A and B are shown apart, each in its own frame.
Chain A
């Protein structure tokens, strides 16, 4: 997990293709070339067979040995991953099952249209091969190129701070695609975003700004409902608040950091979600990591989806509860684990569990899938577990009223024990909430680490949420909220259908505004991100270790702020790149009819 967001790139094979598409964008692509030249005949100075001088750590033999060790270690990991992939390929996607009914009341059955198409076998093989070549080049590379990184000063004799393999991966693999992340922006992250252009004079070790600023179509920010705005009712209200309340509270909720905006926001959030009470915090990440430990502890069991966010995992780790991980959105596996757990009790002692908490997300931000909530609720009831739903990406973005995954599936909010969500995404603000019964929220108010020690939410940030939430709820007296929700839904369906038609593989649910486009090969992640950047489209790629090695992907985040024309432009460019780089892996039949934007035949009656 430490090597987050990293992916990697550049197999010798792909350099030619990539050069074509990135021509003239960033000098980076020379990087790939020089690397493959190195492997054959290197024009660079240090090629006398000895280890470069910068390797202070003992003789060349020792250096070789440690390098080899890290290399082999990595290959063993890869091997296990590979075996795992081969086995998991056989797992057929779960069919929609009949829902167990409770007290005779059948759930509103909505079929989840979710797809995780597997690529052809040779694509899988190519991905592995590509990665091996990449690692191998990196391995060779480290003997010829001194890493241009800061060295530690005045700490001789200290135990080294970092692990060898980590360094190797960062310097010789991740570095080659470093330019695809952390690209600074200089504007509102709305439908368009201004990206600061930067180039690297030294193959990714450092960057310099060219001074140019490129307005790009923003398919990278989590601005689902388009509330990231600088001149709107939200911004005006926030500025008023800033005049009245200042910008910081400099105190925690338990001390003197509560102001009447917080109280208002919490009541509004509870009303929005249809629950009794809510509490808010200044950061979404901290909402998970500092509140989960108040809910479960030693002697409790947590069923956690394998794709859960780092903040959930950290919170669960801090809690001391035992964590069982179930396969992503796989209800059979969840049920199997639940049965086993209750039957076997706690490990070693066999004592019954104190509580069992199921932790899921509404929309998974890397997979684009939507939790099968009705089934989770049925299981939770059957096995008397508690349910914690992280709605970070689903609140606002899903459901006919924008009330998240509960609204989407038409479930009863009472069936969910703990609602959690963040205001960072759909509300264009920052912070997070926990909502549920009054009893639960009182407990959290008293015991939450964040309420006691962390500073409370900044007033203009809180105001942005209040205003945008009121707009979503229609309390501002306009249809703007509902229009945004509808626009997002139309955008999502249209964009996804068009991609399907194009023949690329995309993951996830047809209603999820997060659209991962699978490119598999490492080299292609960098290629696509740079190619789209050159065409003024801002996107992000995600690769190993944030995703399985096999499944490098590009992620598009749709927004209600996007117009059809903007999406059409993006689709056109994606199609172009998909042809050039060969991304059309899908073997499914394609829709022969043209896709019509906002065609109502497939939208729900509730819409």
Chain B
């Protein structure tokens, strides 16, 4: 009992009425003891089985097999193996192809300067960082990258993660918890979907880029809130969108989304994985593209595995928001930090972004030109619908579903491969929130010349005939 009185000392500082708190705790203890006794004596029907009966049940139980037999043929079985460097060209299964499949939009994979600094980095830091950020995994290059990213985006702070997917799926549940409400575009990518699952918040999907639908949902929520103001005062509200949607290649309607968010007090989280380095005059992404103050969005989450041509990801925003992830971002705290060589590669990529704005211009030109070429080709348009905005470096070709024109995407892709063009259909799992429509995903690389683009169109035309 002396132990107990030690424990309660601090209470006496707060409460004048020591006696009452003591009584309260005594009751709690009594209840606890009662509960323990009660629990033991509870005659639970099932627990009364004898040893033999239990043994019989156990021997009778047969589990399902751990895994169901996998399909005989699937893209997951490394059917298309590349070799060597990935850049404007890619070697797939021994065939040298023009590359319209990697997300290296700016063609930074071919930059010698990045390569040489990555090598220097290996000579200084080795390969792995051998520890999470908290435990001697913070290398000075991580701090440099974070600082540079924040400066590049004109924001206060950035955190770097070791993996693009985990950046996005860790950032969301660091803030959104059970009881919160998240409004989400129904076409968001899988990493966001997993983040939403982990948050356990209430998720409300609105139709893809449909502002009316979103506003309706918000109005409904406002009505709900007015009924229960106490609960509403505790319910955080978030809006999660993508700058350019991976699954459709369309830009979000940011101006409208921002004004709705201000009106209904939502915090906006934007996944800028594709738009970072590709949109806006300086490649700062969708906020720059729409000329919206970057502080109007609360958090920007980005993968470094696309335009920045490295590995990992980062979140950037005000310190108030971002710093929280250093203790609450699961993928940040509990995983080894990004290998220093890849961090250095990302820093160099940022150097290039900062010093050579023309790259972004060039990329946007190639994207728009190619978009026009696709639209102009009757053969392609007879067979496919083109999804995506003209400025987007990701374009989807969906098969038109009119009877005899239905072709197997796989055969088109392999035909293209034999004509030295590497393209890929979009990989999806069947557990996506909204069943995706199969499509060919074209990833545009800045290094493609006009001749290349015409060649791509020609090959595509030949492949679909």
Contact = CB atoms under 8 A, between A and B. Distances in A.
Instruction: Tell whether A pairs with B.
Output: yes
B86 A136 contact: no
B83 A259 contact: yes
A157 B265 contact: yes
Nearest to B180: A159
Interface string A125-137: 1001100100110
A199 B269 CA distance: 34
A383 to B, nearest CB: 7
A250 B11 contact: no
Interface size class of A (residues with CB under 8 A): 35 or more
A564 interface: no
B139 A184 contact: yes
B197 A318 contact: yes
Interface in A443-460: 443-455, 458, 460
A185 B429 contact: no
Given A430-B162, A460-B127, A246 B115 contact: yes
B131 interface: yes
Contacts of A386: 63, 66
B320 A150 contact: yes
A189 B422 CA distance: 40
Interface string B427-446: 11100000000000100000
Interface in A177-212: 181-190, 193, 195-196
A318 B193 CA distance: 11
B451 interface: no
Interface in B406-465: 422, 424, 426-429, 441
B309 A136 contact: no
A245 interface: yes
A445 B77 contact: yes
Contacts of A353: 61, 63
B140 A159 contact: no
A136 B197 contact: no
Contact of B130 (A68, A154, A222, A455): A222
Interface string B46-80: 10010000100110011110111111001111101
A6 B336 CA distance: 17
B58 A223 contact: no
Contacts of B428: 452
B61 A352 contact: yes
B177 to A, nearest CB: 8
A135 B66 contact: no
B126 A235 contact: yes
A222 B101 CA distance: 36
B118 A442 contact: no
A355 B191 CA distance: 27
Given A162-B324, A250-B109, A256-B82, A453 B190 contact: yes
Contacts of A259: 81-84
A352 to B, nearest CB: 6
A357 B334 CA distance: 23
Contacts of A423: 128
A427 interface: yes
Contacts of B395: none
B327 A170 contact: yes
B327 A5 contact: yes
Interface string B317-337: 011110110111011011110
A428 interface: yes
Contact of A285 (B133, B305, B331): B331
Given A248-B345, A282-B163, A161 B67 contact: no
B212 interface: no
A227 B85 CA distance: 26
A186 B429 contact: no
A242 interface: yes
Given A184-B140, A256-B422, A259-B83, A342 B61 contact: yes
Contact of B57 (A235, A254, A343): A343
B160 interface: no
B3 A314 contact: no
A384 B318 contact: no
A453 B165 contact: yes
Contacts of A222: 130-131, 336
A376 interface: no
B115 A464 contact: no
A145 interface: no
B136 A314 contact: no
Interface string B37-50: 00000000010010
B339 A454 contact: no
Contacts of B80: 256, 258
Contacts of B62: 384
Contacts of A129: 6, 9
Contacts of A71: 14
Contacts of B310: 247-248
A444 B74 CA distance: 12
Name which of B6, B57, B61, B69 has the most chain A CB atoms within 10 A of its CB.
Answer: B61
Nearest to B235: A159
Interface in B88-146: 90, 92, 101-104, 109, 114-115, 118-119, 122-131, 133-140, 142-143
A188 B198 CA distance: 35
Nearest to A261: B83
Nearest to A350: B46
A451 B75 CA distance: 10
B78 A263 contact: yes
A79 interface: yes
A282 B126 contact: no
A560 to B, nearest CB: 13
Given A4-B327, A184-B140, A258-B78, A159 B233 contact: yes
A235 B123 contact: yes
Given A159-B236, A254-B75, A248 B119 contact: no
A230 interface: yes
Nearest to A417: B66
Given A4-B327, A79-B7, A439-B69, A190 B126 contact: yes
Interface of B: 3, 6-7, 9-11, 13-14, 25, 32, 46, 49, 54, 57-58, 61-64, 66-71, 74-78, 80-87, 90, 92, 101-104, 109, 114-115, 118-119, 122-131, 133-140, 142-143, 156, 162-166, 169, 174-175, 189-191, 194, 197-198, 232-237, 265, 267, 295, 298, 303, 305-306, 309-311, 318-321, 323-324, 326-328, 330-331, 333-336, 338-339, 341-342, 345, 422, 424, 426-429, 441
Top 4 closest pairs, chain A to chain B, by CB: A254-B427, A285-B335, A445-B76, A150-B319
20 contacts: A152-B321, A159-B265, A182-B134, A189-B129, A246-B85, A246-B86, A248-B86, A248-B305, A248-B311, A250-B309, A255-B101, A255-B424, A283-B335, A285-B331, A289-B330, A310-B330, A383-B58, A385-B63, A439-B67, A445-B74
